Every structure is written in structure tokens, then in C-alpha cells.
Chains A and B, each alone.
Chain A
Amino acid sequence: MGRLLRNQKVRNGLLQALYVGALGMLILAGTLIARRNLAAQGITSGFDFLFKSTGWDLNFALLPATAMDPYWWYFTVGILNTLFLGTFGLALATVVGTIVGLARTSSNDLARLLGRTYVDIFRNIPLILQVFFWYAVITHLPSPRGAQPSWGMFLTSRGLYVPAPNVGPWSLTIAVAAILAAIVLPLWIGRTARIDRPLGDRATLQLAAAAAALACAALALLAGRLPETPFLDMPALQGLNLRGGLRVPPEFSALVVAIGIYGGSYIAEIVRGGFKSVGTGQMEAAGSLGLTAWQTFTLVRLPLALRAMLPILANQYVWLMKATTMGIAVGFSDFFMIVALTINHSGQTIEAIGLLMAGFLAINLSLAFFFNRINKAIALKGNQLRG
């Protein structure tokens, strides 16, 4: 017996069995206690509540939602809001991070100093403080009556008012998709065609693709025009408030700015690291072949730096996606806030938290899956020890 216990495999097996057993007991006990407590409070567990009307309103929704709508619809709207906020926040963070990161790798002393100061300041202040700060800044802007229009837009304490096209929702969706295609298609052509064609040809092809996509967008907008209205619905002062146009609520703007600026400071470090990881040897080789500085940057330095950045960037995006839950701090109806309100109103804590976790898991696993695919597709082939 003693000899059997000294066997490494037997010992490992026993330890694992003990661990799994303990874990199973813990889960069982937790479930039983929760059940009994819920029953004692008169709460019926289950997901029936999803089909009841909520009875409360949302302050921000991309799809029509009223107090009569059921919970499952509110959850859908909440996930959409989270994705919407995340898209803008991540996009802004990427732009800011790229600029600051490049500044930090610059040979210019001033640019490096500015980049470093930026990162030092915004990376070291908690996100929630930054959210409150930007929210305070935005809500202290002039009231609609005192705001000065610029390019047809009003920046006011009640939000940013921008002109909106008088176009049906479906054609608007198509137009937005076509505009996205105008950005993605040229990039895709640049990637797949790589150096198969002389540069001139490729640029023509990219321009043509972008133009075609933009034409589609214009066509969709014209086709979906609402009858008997001007093409653009301009915001204008009427009495004490602004009427017309599209209002971007201050909660949303504050969150996008905060996530963009805070996330940008992290992404700047990733960008800097990516560029630093590219050996000088490859750049010297490109230079010695007669490539110009721009060709060396776009064809050698950037592709190699991107490969180094991508895995960490994916991680950062997942992290920032979770940061959208700051919505609750300023009252933006993101998924987390809707779940929190659901708990308040329905008492279905465990179910709602479960759905919250499942929702974020789905969003972030999709994001991770997407990035892993890209990462695999562009990974350098072969044993990298020799670089």
C-alpha cells in the first residue's frame, strides 16, 4: 500500500480525483443553498421572466424599444448598445494608440516626450475617473440655447447634435455597409495582391473598388430618401431646445472618449513594442537593396510589426470590450446596465448574471476567435529561431 502511494502516477490520479470531488461537492452545495434561499424569498427561478414586459424605458437604443417590450428584447438591445459603444471606443483607441505609439518610436525628441507623457498620464488614472471627467466636461458645455453651430453641428450639454440624412433605416444600413466596404476592399486588395502586380496597377484597382463601393452607398441613400423632406435634417434651435438632426447623448460621447483615450495609452505601448520588435537587420537589408524609406516602412517594417502586435492587441480589445461596462457609471444603457436594472426590477439575479456572463463570453470569444484566425493566417512560416 505504502509503495503504491509512492507511485507517481497513482499519486497524481488520487490528487486529481480528490480535487474534482471537492469541486463537485462545492457546486452541489451552492446550488442547493441558492435554491432553498430563493424558495424562502418566494422567487421562482427560471427564464420565464424573459418574456414579460419590462415596464421601464431605455435612454439609448439603436432599435425601437419601449417599456412594453419583453426582457429578452431589452437584452438584445443592450448587447447591440455594448457592441456599438465598443466599436467606436476601440476604433478611437486604435487611432489614438497608433499615433501616440508612432510618436514614441519617433526619432524626434519632442514627439517622444509628448508620447511618453500621454501614456504616463492616461494609463495611470483609473478608467472610471476618466469616464466621470469626460462626462463632467461634456455636461458643462453650453446649453442648447448658448451653443454655436459649426458645420451644422451643435456641441451642447445635452449632447452632440449632428445633421442626419432623411433616409429610410434599411437604405441607411446598406449605405453604412457600403462605406465600410470602401475602406475594407482596398485593404483586402492590397493584402491579397501583395506584390503580384506592379504598384501602379494595384493602386488603380484599389481606387476603383473604393469608388464603386462609395457609388453603391450614394445610390442606397438616394433610393431610400424619405419623400418631401430635405436630404439632410439639420438640427436647429426651437424654443429652449434643439430640434432635428441626430443627437449623440453625452453619456455615449463621454464613454467613447474615455475608452478611446484610456485604451489608446495601452495600445500606444503595444504599437511601440511591435515596431521595436522588428530587427534593424531587415530594414538595413531593404535599404541596401535600394528601397525608399516609405517602401521599407510599408513592405517590411509595418507588416512585421503588425504580426508582433496582433496577439497583444486582441487581448487589449477583449479587455476594452469589458470596459464598456463603465456605462452604468454615467447611465448609458449598455448590456451591463440593462442586466443590473433587470435584477432590480425582476429579482432574477442568478439568471440575469448568467446571461450577462454568457453575453460577454460570446462577444469576447468571437473577438478572440476572429483575431486568432487572422493571426494564424499571417503567422510567419517555419522555425523562427533564426529570424
Chain B
Amino acid sequence: MNGPDPSQAETAAIHIAGLNKHYGAFHALRDIDLTVRRGEKIVVCGPSGSGKSTLIRCINRLEEHSAGRIVVLGTELNDDVGNIEGIRREVGMVFQHFNLFPHMTVLENCVLAPMLVRKVPRSEAEALARKYLEKVRIPEQADKYPAQLSGGQQQRVAIARALCMTPQIMLFDEPTSALDPEMIAEVLDVMATLASEGMTMVCVTHEMGFARRAADRVIFMDKGEIVEQAPPERFFTTAQNERTRQFLSQILNH
């Protein structure tokens, strides 16, 4: 379906071929091949320790891969700092623990990178920030500090902060895992809106409702390998692999 195909490296949003990652003796990722088309929405799931977070952290070099090739938006991810910074400008990331800058207001969090990295003037950056805060439905919190907001609000600020760089790809690393149940929906709604607008997204999440609603493809990982990948309707009904079926029964039946 989406096997390694060198011709896709230039046109795809993300092209990963033969990716391996070791932490000392621990083999975290084994021979990953994955191509994400522009505009495609991917949900990555799997048991803890399966390497799903490591995989998406490799895409913007928060983790350095040990072997294999990663091409993001036509740029090869290697030791070249220029390439890394170039890719990070175009790839937004949302973290499990929000990672907002606690010493800056919500608005400052949002304008920092556009002003410093994209050299956008302050007024323009603020207009952009207010637009995206509106989009994540918390424009009234602009002058508060992160710790004055609820977890769900903080995560929406984190999404707005990433969007202010007008990225072409968004990575979500378990964005709802640290949230109280009633706040999960508000974050997932924002993510679904983003998906419907054609953003290229790679989401590590266990929110299977979101996967059904928004994903083009669901990937199941276990022990550092991609075990199964399929469109959501097929993934949830006729999973081929025994480990996938077991995982699904564990997270869906309760």
C-alpha cells in the first residue's frame, strides 16, 4: 500500500525508509517504512513502549535516528543544522504535557517563534496569534499565564502556538493523555477541525473515536515495528494481525 518508493520522497509530506533507532542496546524502532501524503491524517497507536512516540519525535529530530532515511517536505533530515531548523519551521508539534513557556503569557507563547524565526513584525504576529487563539476557542485567555489555565485550555494554546508558525505538518504526541476526561473532547474537537481543513497530521493517540472520525489511515505499532496499517473502517473491523486484535479488544471493550 504505502511501501518504500524513492519517487515519493520528493512529493510526499513525510517519507521514511528503513528507519532504525537504538537507545544503547535497546532497539526502539525496527525497519520502519512509512510515507505520509500531503493532507493525509494518520493515527498511530500501540501499547506503551511500542515506539510510537519515538517515531514521531524522529520526524522533527527531537530524537536522532540511528539508520535509515527521513525526508520531510523534500528535505532530507540529517546532521545539517540548517535542514533541521528548516524542517522544524514547517512541522508543528503538540506534546503530551503541553510544554508551554510558563514565564510568558499565552500571547507571548504564540508570537515568540513567528517573530524570532519567521521575522514577522510584532503587530502581524499578534494578529496571527489572536486568529489562532480564536480558532482553538480561547481568545479571551490571551493575556493569562499558562499555569492559570486548565489542562485542556493549555493544550489548545499549545496547538495555537504551533499553528502560528503556519506549519505544513502537525505532529501530535499523545495530546490528550494528560487531560481529565471532560477536557479531552475540547482538544479533540480542535484537532478534528484542523483535520477537516486539510492539514497533514500524524497523531499518536489512543482516542479511537477520533481515529474513526478523522484519520485516513490507522497504524498499529508493537515492539518498534509497524504491525498493521489500514483505513479506520477496515482497521477496527477486520484487523489481520493477532496482536492488533488483542490491543483493540483491550482498549475498546470497557
Please report A residues at the B interface, Cβ cutoff 8 Å.
194-199, 279, 281-282, 284-292, 295, 299-300, 303-304, 307, 378, 380-387
Contact = CB atoms under 8 A, between A and B. Distances in A.
B95 A281 contact: yes
Contacts of B99: 279, 281-282, 284-285
12 contacts: A197-B122, A282-B102, A285-B101, A286-B101, A290-B88, A299-B112, A304-B102, A381-B148, A382-B102, A382-B146, A386-B146, A387-B147
Contacts of A282: 99-102
Contacts of A378: 103
Given A196-B122, A299-B112, A386-B154, A289 B117 contact: yes
B189 interface: no
Main secondary structure of the interface of A (DSSP, over half): helix
A289 B112 contact: yes
Which 8 A-B residue pairs are closest in the complex by CB-CB distance?
A382-B147, A382-B148, A285-B99, A289-B113, A381-B145, A281-B99, A288-B93, A290-B89
Contact of B115 (A195, A286, A382, A383): A195
Nearest to A283: B99
Contact of B103 (A288, A292, A307, A385): A307
A383 B148 contact: yes
A287 B64 CA distance: 13
Contact of A288 (B60, B112, B119): B60
B202 to A, nearest CB: 13
A198 B115 contact: yes
Contacts of B147: 380-387
A303 B102 CA distance: 10
Given A198-B121, A289-B117, 7 more contacts: A195-B122, A285-B99, A288-B162, A290-B117, A380-B145, A381-B144, A387-B97
Given A284-B99, A304-B102, A382-B147, A199 B62 contact: no
A305 B193 CA distance: 37
- Indicate the size class of the contact surface on chain B: 35 or more
B15 interface: no
Contacts of B149: 382
B107 to A, nearest CB: 10
A284 B62 CA distance: 7
Interface of B: 60, 62, 85, 88-89, 91-93, 95, 97-103, 108, 111-113, 115-117, 119, 121-122, 144-149, 151, 154, 158, 161-162, 165
Nearest to A295: B116
Contacts of B92: 288-289
A279 B93 CA distance: 17
A273 B147 CA distance: 22
Contacts, number: 97
B95 A290 contact: no
B102 A380 contact: yes
Nearest to A304: B103
A380 B101 CA distance: 10
Nearest to A379: B103
Given A198-B122, A380-B147, A382-B146, A281 B97 contact: yes
Contacts of A295: 116
A304 B149 CA distance: 19
Contacts of B115: 195, 198
Contacts of B95: 281, 284-285
A285 B108 contact: no
A263 B224 CA distance: 49
Contacts of B101: 282, 285-286, 300
B165 A289 contact: yes
A374 to B, nearest CB: 14
Contacts of B165: 289-290
Contacts of A386: 98, 146-147, 151, 154
Contacts of A291: 112-113, 116-117
B119 A198 contact: yes
Contacts of B108: 194-195
A197 B99 CA distance: 24
Nearest to A284: B62
Contacts of A385: 147
A385 B146 CA distance: 11
A195 B148 contact: no
Contacts of A197: 122
Contacts of B113: 289-291
B148 A288 contact: no
Contact of B112 (A195, A292, A304): A195
Contacts of B122: 195-198
Nearest to A382: B147
Contacts of B60: 288
A380 B109 CA distance: 14
A307 B101 CA distance: 13
Contacts of A285: 93, 95, 99-101, 158
Given A198-B122, A285-B95, A386-B151, A380 B103 contact: yes
A158 B58 CA distance: 63
A287 B62 contact: yes
A23 to B, nearest CB: 43
Nearest to B111: A195
A289 B161 contact: yes
Contacts of B85: 290, 292
A296 to B, nearest CB: 10
